[in-house]
Amino acid sequence: MKPISQLGYEEARDELVDVVRQLEQGGLDLDTSLKLWERGEELAKRCEEHLAGARERVEQTLAAKAEQEE
């Protein structure tokens, strides 16, 4: 299992979906459920970081294009 900091957006998203599926199925002991929930929180944070970076790149590109058109 890769460290979360090394996961790309798609990898983090796919693993997060799997974590949610496991938690929704239930039948896990408390310790396992807590570990999965904590990993899920970190995966969600990683996804948000990727999305924020993508959003920033789009905004920079749009700003540069707007400056060229002036």
- Looking at per-residue pLDDT, the higher value among 20 and 2 belongs to 20
Per-residue tokens: 60: 């920079």
pLDDT of residue 43: 98
Give the separation between CA 21 and CA 44, rounded to whole angstroms: 14
Give the separation between CA 45 and CA 19, rounded to whole angstroms: 14
Which CATH code is given to the segment(s) 7-69?
1.10.287
Rounded to two decimals, what is the model's pTM? Answer: 0.82
Over range 6-14, report the average pLDDT.
96
Give the separation between CA 25 and CA 7, rounded to whole angstroms: 25
54 CA to centre of own chain? 12
Structure confidence by residue, pLDDT tens digits, 19-64:
999 999 999 999 999 999 999 999 999 999 999 999 999 999 998 8
